[in-house]
Amino acid sequence: MKINFALAAAAAFGLSAPAFAETEITWWHAMGGALGETVNQIAADFNASQDDYTITPIFKGTYEETLTAGIAAFRAGEQPNIMQVFDAGAATVIGAKGATVAVEDLMKDNGVEFDINDYIAGVRYFFADNDGKMIGMPFNSSTPIMYFNEDALAKAGVEAPATWEEFASVTAPALKEAGYVPLSQSHLPWIFTENFFSRHDIQFANNNNGYDAPATEIKVNHPAIKAHFQALVDWKDAGLFEWYGTGWGDNAAPFENGEVAMWLGSSGSFGGLLKKVDFPFSAAKLPYWEAVTTEPKQTFIGGAALFAMAGKSAEENKATAEFFRFLTSENTQYFWHQQTGYVPITEAAYDVAKKDGHYDRFPAAEVGIEQLSLEAGEFTKGYRMGFYVQIRDVMNREYGRILTGETDVDTAFEAIEAEANKLLARFAKTQG
């Protein structure tokens, strides 16, 4: 028996010995479907590129589910090495000091070169702290842009509008005349609120949008955005705009099947649209109100970032840093950009894409990155608000009520302001 046991042990050791040399790390993400396949491809490429580290990507559901799973795991001491956190969860994860290791520190401590200026302007500070230190590595960075059906615009004899004034007076009536629903959009809080504030460089929350100190007051009840929503209501009544509910896909579907001529979605929707639609389409930057500003600024990035969770061994952190090195390399970023439409996060990768002629083939793929590279304003860096997921829920609810005629714009924005401020106060108390 003893001999058998010794043999078995030797055999087991012999078999698993090579595995000991590799440091294994895990990566929890929210990229389903085709995006998930691309994520798996990147992980497989990284594993194949060297022998020291193995990364295992694990799909954990939606953004919210991934964040919740990560939090629960962290509380149980079983957190993954890398967790993907979306824009609205940024305040939660960055606010929890000690939950993550700042990406910038992680890279530098492990001998990976890092310079925040290598990243394209629009992605630098959204997941950074107020001193400009990058905490989360922007991964699937996107920004809202306006897709349009080229056939529809040609039929109506118009160009994609640059401003909302142009949309209202020229583009939309012509498209309606040509038999199309001129416009729909997905995600009102993201496109018509957060990015509305960024595009027009209006303050979104006090304390420098929550960067200097936790935000205690949301500035959403602003005349410019109220005028915008009033315009939406009027456009909807006039048949120039349609709203198909809170669901992202509900608003995208009518564009994809050719009913709607222009759709505001994510630059990250590009890859999916290429596969889905059978008409020529392109994209333009998010329109702005000339009445509000004549110098429209860059928009926020949406999407998500990768955070290195705290409480891991030096060896595993080294592996994480090496993976980030691989992930931010030009070729990986270009691959990701091509496959999905999310923007390449570094200038170098953007250059590779340009040189390769990617944007000559697909001009629409460049719109997001151009928009993110526009001039920055005082309030275009991002925003930090606690319990922001719930604040978005409140916005979604009130916006839905505005667009179904259950409430008016003034009442809705007062309600959002009041409830959001209450949530911010509650969040402040959680910090103990």
Cβ count near 110 (within 10 Å): 17
Binding part of the chain for another protein, among 121-129, 212-220, 244-252, 317-325 by CB under 8 A, reads 244-252
SS3 200: coil
Given the complex with another protein, which of 74 and 326 has the nearer CB atom? 74
Q: Count the site residues for another protein by CB under 8 A.
A: 47
Q: Binding to another protein by residue 247, rule CB under 8 A?
A: yes
Reduced to 3 DSSP states, what percent helix, strand and coil does the chain have, rounded to the nearest 5?
55, 15, 30
Q: Binding to another protein by residue 209, rule CB under 8 A?
A: no
The contact mask relative to another protein for 53-92 (x = CB under 8 A, - = no) is ---------x-xx-xx--x--xx----------------x
Minimum distance from CB of 389 to another protein (Å)?
A: 5
Evaluate whether 273 touches 147 at the Cβ level (below 8 Å).
yes
The per-type count for the chain, helices as H runs and strands as E runs, is: 21, 10
The contact mask relative to another protein for 376-395 (x = CB under 8 A, - = no) is -----------x-xx--x--
Among 36, 173, 254, 258, binds another protein (CB under 8 A): 254
Burial code (b: 16+ CB inside 10 Å, e: under 16) for 285-313 equals bbbbbeebbeebbbbbbbbbbbbbbeebe
Given the complex with another protein, which of 95 and 173 has the nearer CB atom? 95
Minimum distance from CB of 200 to another protein (Å)?
A: 24
Q: Binding to another protein by residue 420, rule CB under 8 A?
A: no
Given the complex with another protein, which of 244 and 335 has the nearer CB atom? 244
Given the complex with another protein, which of 332 and 421 has the nearer CB atom? 421
Q: Binding to another protein by residue 185, rule CB under 8 A?
A: no
The Cα–Cα gap between 15 and 13 comes to: 5
Cβ count near 355 (within 10 Å): 9
3-state secondary structure 17-84: HHHHHCEEEEEEECCCHHHHHHHHHHHHHHHHHCCCEEEEEEECCCHHHHHHHHHHHHHCCCCCCEEE
The Cα–Cα gap between 29 and 27 comes to: 6
Q: Binding to another protein by residue 410, rule CB under 8 A?
A: no
* Binding stretches for another protein (CB under 8 A): 62, 64-65, 67-68, 71, 74-75, 92-93, 95-99, 243-250, 253-254, 257, 387, 389-390, 393, 396-401, 403-404, 406, 419, 422-423, 426, 429-432
